[in-house]
C-alpha cells in the first residue's frame, strides 16, 4: 500500500438535498449496490428512529445513532468511498454546512417534481464557495415531474452551473420507460420491481431501435430533446467537472433502484480524489505529502452520558494516519495521542489502525479539540479555518439560579468553541447575556441540555425576533452608519470580535447597502483563529 495509491482511490462525498427528496433512500441504495448492506431498510429505520424522538434521553440515543450514520465507508470498483451524512429535517444545523468542508465532491439530489428547493440552494452555495464538484441526481422519475429540459434550464440559470447530462429520461410517472445513456445512445429500460433487492442486469437496446418499445410520440419527443442536448448542451469534461464548473446529471428513481448503479459507478470512477488544502500561511499541502495532517470539522459530545466523552471528526488531509501516533494541535502546540481512533462502517463504529487522505477518523477527546483545529504529526500546521454560517434562529438564555452565572459563562464559551451554537456579544454587556444564534433549532435544545448535564446550569431558552445575521465588511464607514441607527440595526460582535448586524428583515439590510457605498454583508465568514 502506498500513500499515492491509497489517496488516489479515496472518494469522499456528501449528498445535499432538501428534506424528502430521497436522500435516505438514495444513501441506502448506494450501500446496497456497493454490497455494504444486504437489504434495504436499515438506513431508513435509523432515520425513523431519529425523527420519532424529542426528549433528552431520546436525544442522546438520537445522537448516538447519528454518529454511527455520520460517515459511511464502503468499497466499490477498487475505490474507497466515504459518504458523509448531512442531516436534513429537524437535526439540520451548522454541522451540516461544516461537513461540506470535509468532502471532495457533492451529490445534489433533487425531486424532479420540485426542482431546486431552498435547502438545496443553500447547501449548493456552500459547495460553490469551496469550488466543489457537484453531481446532480434527479430523483423520483417513477412519478410525474417537471419537463426535463425546463428543469435542466432552471438549474443552469439559478445556480449558474453548466449541465452535462450523462443520461436522459424517457417519460416519467406511469410513462417512465427508462433513460438513454448519452455516451452509448442506449436505452436502459426501466422495470418496476422488488425495491429492497438489487437489480443488476438492466435491459438495454440501441435508442435507434426503441421506437416500438417506447411509442412513437415519446420516441420523437425524446429524440428531439437528445438532438437539442447534443447541439446546445455541455459535453462531459472531467476537468471542468473537477473544477466545479460543470455538473453531470443523472436521472433515476432511488426508491425503485433505477439509476443508482450508474451514479455509484460514476462516484467510484470519476468523483474527485482527495484535494490539497491550504494553511493559514498560504502553503498548499498535498495529500501525498508524507507529513500526516488532518482537521476537525465536527465535534459530537456526550455520546455516552456516563463518560462524557466527545468525538472529534477528523478529515485526513495528507500522509498516513496510524493508531497510537502523537499529533500536535496547530492552535496551541499541545500534543494528543491518537489512542482510540474510530472508523465508521455502516452501522458500526470500530477502532481503526490506519487511515489515508480522504478518510474520516473519529478521535476521542476529553475537551482539547475545537472545530477547525488542525492535527499533524511532528509539525505544527494550521489549515485555514472552517467558515461560520449566518444563523437563522436567535435567542438568549434566562438563568434560573443567578449564582450559576460563572458556570453559564464558562459553558457558553466552551460550547461555542465546540460549535454547538454561535454567540453574539453586545457592546455594553459582552459575555453577560449574549445573543445566541443557530442554523438549526435543534442546536438550542442541545445547548440547554449540555448546560444542564455538563455544567449543572439550568437556563431557559427564549427566542428573539431576529431572522438574519450578517458579518459586516467593506467600507469601514458602514459600522458608524449602522451604529448611528440603533433603533433600526442591532450591532453585535461574534466571539472573535468581528462585527455582525442582526436584523428582522432583509429589507433593512438592503437599505443599508444602498445607502452606504462599499458596505458589504456576508452570510459566510471565515472562523478567525481565537
Ligand atoms: P430524505 O432522506 O431526503 O428526507 O428522503 P427519504 O429518502 O426519506 O424519502 C422521502 C420520501 O420519498 C419517502 O416516502 C421515500 O419513499 C420517497 N422516495 C424516495 N425516492 C423515491 C423515488 O425514487 N420515487 C418515489 N416515488 N418516491 C421516492 P415516504 O412516504 O415519506 O416514506 P415511506 O413510507 O416510503 O418510507
Q: What is the pLDDT of residues 227-278, one digit of tens each?
A: 999 887 777 889 999 999 999 999 999 999 899 999 999 999 999 999 999 9
Do 5-9+13-69+85-270 and 387-526 show the same overall fold?
no
Pairing assessment for the beta strands 348-351 and 246-251 based on DSSP bridges: unpaired
Ligand 1 lined by 255 (C-beta under 6 Å): yes
Beta strands in 9-161 (DSSP E): 10-16, 71-76, 79-84, 105-111, 134-139
Q: Whose CA is nearest to atom 17 of ligand 1?
A: 22
404 grid coordinates: 450559576
Residues linked to residue 253 through DSSP beta bridges, in sequence order: 258
Helices (H), 34-142: 42-51, 56-68, 94-99, 118-130
> Which atom, in ligand 1's list, is nearest to the CA of 27?
7
> Which atom, in ligand 1's list, is nearest to the CA of 20?
4
Q: How many CB atoms lie within 10 A of CB 238?
A: 13
The Å distance, Cα 24 to ligand 1 centre, comes to 8
Q: Whose CA is nearest to atom 21 of ligand 1?
A: 255
Q: What's the whole-model pTM score?
A: 0.88
Element (H, E) at 511: helix 506-515
CATH of domain 387-526: 3.30.70.3280
Domain boundaries, the chain: 5-9+13-69+85-270, 277-376, 387-526
Ligand 1 lined by 20 (C-beta under 6 Å): yes
Residues 409-425 have pLDDT tens digits of 999 998 998 888 999 99
CATH of domain 277-376: 2.40.30.10
The Å distance, Cα 165 to ligand 1 centre, comes to 24
Mutate which of 20, 117, 141 to test ligand 1's pocket (most atoms within 8 Å of Cβ)? 20
Q: Which of 383, 378, 351 is nearest to 284 (CA)?
A: 383
The Å distance, Cα 243 to ligand 1 centre, comes to 31
Q: Using the structure block, give the residue that is written with the C-alpha cell 427508462.
A: 178
Q: Is the dihedral of CA 124, 21, 106, 421 positive or negative?
A: positive
Residue 410 phi, psi dihedral angles, 5° rounding: -60, -50
pLDDT > 80? residue 38: no
Q: Using the structure block, give the residue that is written with the C-alpha cell 474510530.
A: 342
Ligand 1 lined by 28 (C-beta under 6 Å): no
CATH topology for 5-9+13-69+85-270? Rossmann fold (3.40.50)
Residues 497-529 have pLDDT tens digits of 999 999 999 999 999 999 999 999 999 887 664
Residues 374 and 292: their CA atoms lie apart, in Å, by 11
Q: Using the structure block, give the residue that is written with the C-alpha cell 458556570.
A: 407
3-state class (DSSP) for residue 5: helix
Average pLDDT of 458-483?
Answer: 94
Ligand 1 lined by 300 (C-beta under 6 Å): no
Average pLDDT of 158-187?
Answer: 94
Average pLDDT of 26-43?
Answer: 75
Residue with more model confidence, 315 or 429? 315
Are the C-beta atoms of residues 465 and 445 closer than 8 Å to each other?
no
The pLDDT of residue 148: 96
Q: Whose CA is nearest to atom 28 of ligand 1?
A: 255
Are the C-beta atoms of residues 105 and 11 closer than 8 Å to each other?
yes
Residues 361-383 have pLDDT tens digits of 989 888 889 899 999 999 999 99
The Å distance, Cα 110 to ligand 1 centre, comes to 12
pLDDT > 60? residue 487: yes
Ligand 1 lined by 23 (C-beta under 6 Å): yes
The pLDDT of residue 53: 32
Amino acid at each position: 500500500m502506498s500513500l499515492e495509491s491509497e489517496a488516489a482511490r479515496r472518494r469522499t462525498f456528501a449528498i445535499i438535498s432538501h428534506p424528502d427528496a430521497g436522500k435516505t433512500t438514495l444513501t441506502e441504495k448506494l450501500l446496497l449496490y456497493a454490497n455494504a448492506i444486504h437489504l434495504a431498510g436499515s438506513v431508513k429505520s435509523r432515520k425513523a428512529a431519529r425523527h420519532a424522538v424529542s426528549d433528552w434521553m431520546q436525544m442522546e440515543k438520537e445522537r448516538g445513532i447519528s454518529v454511527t450514520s455520520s460517515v459511511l465507508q464502503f468499497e466499490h470498483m477498487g475505490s474507497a468511498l466515504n459518504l458523509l451524512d448531512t442531516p436534513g429535517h429537524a437535526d439540520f444545523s451548522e454541522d451540516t454546512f461544516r461537513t461540506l468542508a470535509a468532502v471532495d465532491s457533492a451529490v445534489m439530489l433533487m425531486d424532479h417534481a420540485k426542482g431546486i428547493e431552498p435547502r438545496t440552494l443553500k447547501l449548493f452555495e456552500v459547495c460553490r464557495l469551496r469550488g466543489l464538484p457537484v453531481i446532480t441526481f434527479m430523483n423520483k422519475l417513477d412519478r410525474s415531474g417537471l419537463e426535463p429540459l425546463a428543469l435542466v434550464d432552471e438549474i443552469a440559470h439559478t445556480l449558474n452551473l453548466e449541465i452535462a447530462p450523462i443520461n436522459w429520461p424517457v417519460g416519467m410517472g406511469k410513462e417512465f420507460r427508462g433513460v438513454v445513456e448519452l455516451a452509448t445512445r442506449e436505452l436502459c429500460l426501466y422495470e418496476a420491481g422488488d425495491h429492497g433487492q438489487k437489480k443488476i442486469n438492466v435491459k438495454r437496446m440501441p435508442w435507434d431501435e426503441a421506437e416500438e418499445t417506447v411509442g412513437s410520440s415519446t420516441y420523437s419527443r425524446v429524440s428531439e430533446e437528445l438532438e437539442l442536448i447534443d447541439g446546445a448542451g455541455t459535453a462531459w469534461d472531467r476537468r471542468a467537472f473537477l473544477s466545479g464548473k460543470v455538473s453531470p446529471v443523472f436521472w433515476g428513481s432511488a426508491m425503485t433502484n433505477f439509476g443508482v448503479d450508474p451514479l455509484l459507478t460514476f462516484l467510484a470512477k470519476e468523483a474527485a480524489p482527495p484535494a490539497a488544502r491550504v494553511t493559514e500561511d498560504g502553503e498548499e499541502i498535498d495529500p501525498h505529502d508524507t507529513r500526516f495532517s488532518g482537521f476537525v470539522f465536527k465535534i459530537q459530545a456526550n455520546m455516552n452520558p456516563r463518560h462524557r466523552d466527545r468525538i472529534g471528526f477528523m478529515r485526513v488531509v495528507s500522509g498516513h494516519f496510524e493508531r497510537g501516533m502523537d499529533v500536535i494541535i496547530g492552535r496551541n502546540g499541545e500534543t494528543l495521542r491518537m489512542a482510540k481512533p474510530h472508523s465508521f462502517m455502516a452501522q458500526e463504529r470500530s477502532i481503526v489502525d490506519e487511515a489515508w487522505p480522504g478518510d474520516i477518523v473519529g478521535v476521542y477527546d476529553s475537551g482539547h479539540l475545537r472545530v477547525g483545529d488542525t492535527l499533524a504529526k511532528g509539525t505544527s500546521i494550521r489549515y485555514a479555518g472552517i467558515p461560520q454560517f449566518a444563523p437563522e434562529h436567535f435567542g438568549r438564555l434566562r438563568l434560573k439560579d443567578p449564582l450559576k452565572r460563572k458556570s453559564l459563562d464558562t459553558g457558553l464559551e466552551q460550547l461555542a468553541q465546540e460549535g454547538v451554537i454561535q454567540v453574539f456579544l453586545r457592546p455594553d454587556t459582552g459575555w453577560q447575556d449574549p445573543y445566541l444564534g443557530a442554523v438549526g433549532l435543534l442546536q438550542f435544545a442541545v445547548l440547554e441540555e449540555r448546560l444542564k448535564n455538563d455544567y449543572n446550569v439550568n437556563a431557559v431558552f427564549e427566542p428573539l425576533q431576529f431572522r438574519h445575521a450578517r458579518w459586516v465588511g467593506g467600507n469601514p464607514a458602514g459600522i458608524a452608519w449602522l451604529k448611528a441607527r440603533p433603533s433600526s440595526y442591532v450591532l453585535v460582535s461574534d466571539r472573535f470580535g468581528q462585527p455582525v448586524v442582526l436584523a428582522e428583515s432583509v429589507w433593512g439590510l438592503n437599505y443599508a447597502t444602498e445607502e452606504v457605498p462599499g458596505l458589504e454583508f456576508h452570510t459566510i465568514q471565515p472562523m478567525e483563529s481565537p
